[in-house]
Amino acid sequence: MIPNLGLIWIAFLILCAATVLAGVKDLLTLLKYDFKAPFLRRQTKWYSFMSNVWTRFMLEVFLEMTICILINFTAMGGSASFQRSSSACSVILFIVLGLFLLFVLSLLAYKWYTTDPGVPEGEPASSHKTLFLGLNTKHQARSLMYPVWFLTRRLIFSICVVAGGARPVGQVMTVLVCSLLMWCLLLWCRPYDTYDYQALQLFNEAMILLACIHMLCFTGFVADMSTNQSLGFTLILLVIVTFFVNSLVLIHSLWVAANRMCAKRGLISVANSNIN
């Protein structure tokens, strides 16, 4: 058990158990396949499913896991049995996170060197389809730059938060530069396959950038307390606006999905389903 990780640790253990079960089931299926075929072509249904679940899980909990593990590393060496076991768990999770980052990086390197940037590609392998969720799959090497920077940025953020406490300006500036780099990447690589998602991500990044500028003001850069108080209110407003805009897009997306489902089942006519 790792302090502060809570449900994420439980979910991690459940996923490990599910992977073992899926692995046993797939192993039996795999025996029927032709072993001369390349490994990637011998993927089975459960292998693909678990691979996608793991990928999404790691992407979403990466920030929380790295922060908790790094905090735990700073408190490592306690004598209590609970501390010893949590330190061991932290090391295991650290290896898992490192392997995941290595996997995404190696996938990027593989795509970068094996595909021609001028030729559109087909669908990505089903085992890591979730890594390309919403991304442009015709130019996978370019699109993969986004998840790579997504993870690297979270790692940098965690290191800054845990180890950079002595230099608050440095902490904020690092996060600010990471946010600016993400903006550059979104504009340069255009990783998303639709304009709407691209715009949504740019908006979200702008909000993070604005929040970082607020943080810079809180480092003592703005001496006036009343200005600081006002900046506190604008920070709250900024979070509410981000939440509100994202909720609207989310609800719209749900509406489109519901319409599509109804049209598929013949409950409404295709003309009324708002499907583009």
Rounded to the nearest whole angstrom, what is the least distance from the CB of residue 54 to another protein in the complex? Answer: 15
- Give whole-number Cα distances, 220 to 163, 169, 193, 206, in Å: 20, 9, 42, 23
Q: Residue 139 or 154: which CB sits closer to another protein?
A: 154
- Whether residue 87 contacts residue 80, with contact meaning beta carbons closer than 8 Å, is answered with no
Q: Residue 126 or 201: which CB sits closer to another protein?
A: 201
- The b-or-e profile of 133-167 (16+ CB within 10 A means b, else e) is ebbbeebbbbbbbbbbbbbebbbbbbebbbebeee
3 state DSSP class of 34: coil
Rounded to the nearest whole angstrom, what is the least distance from the CB of residue 109 to another protein in the complex? Answer: 24
- Give whole-number Cα distances, 153 to 63, 66, 96, 148, 178, in Å: 9, 11, 18, 9, 6
Kindly state the tokens that stand for 80: 């209590």
Rounded to the nearest whole angstrom, what is the least distance from the CB of residue 59 to another protein in the complex? Answer: 8
Rounded to the nearest whole angstrom, what is the least distance from the CB of residue 173 to another protein in the complex? Answer: 11
Q: What are phi and psi of 33, to 5 degrees?
A: -80, 165
**How far is it, in rounded angstroms, from Cα 182 to Cα 210?**
14
Q: Residue 80 or 119: which CB sits closer to another protein?
A: 80
Radius of gyration of the chain (CA): 22
Rounded to the nearest whole angstrom, what is the least distance from the CB of residue 116 to another protein in the complex? Answer: 27
Rounded to the nearest whole angstrom, what is the least distance from the CB of residue 24 to another protein in the complex? Answer: 25
Q: Residue 64 or 121: which CB sits closer to another protein?
A: 64
**How far is it, in rounded angstroms, from Cα 102 to Cα 114?**
18
Q: Residue 29 or 272: which CB sits closer to another protein?
A: 272
Q: Residue 190 or 260: which CB sits closer to another protein?
A: 260
Rounded to the nearest whole angstrom, what is the least distance from the CB of residue 28 to another protein in the complex? Answer: 27
**How far is it, in rounded angstroms, from Cα 173 to Cα 186?**
20
Q: Residue 125 or 202: which CB sits closer to another protein?
A: 202
Provide the greatest CA pair distance for the chain: 73
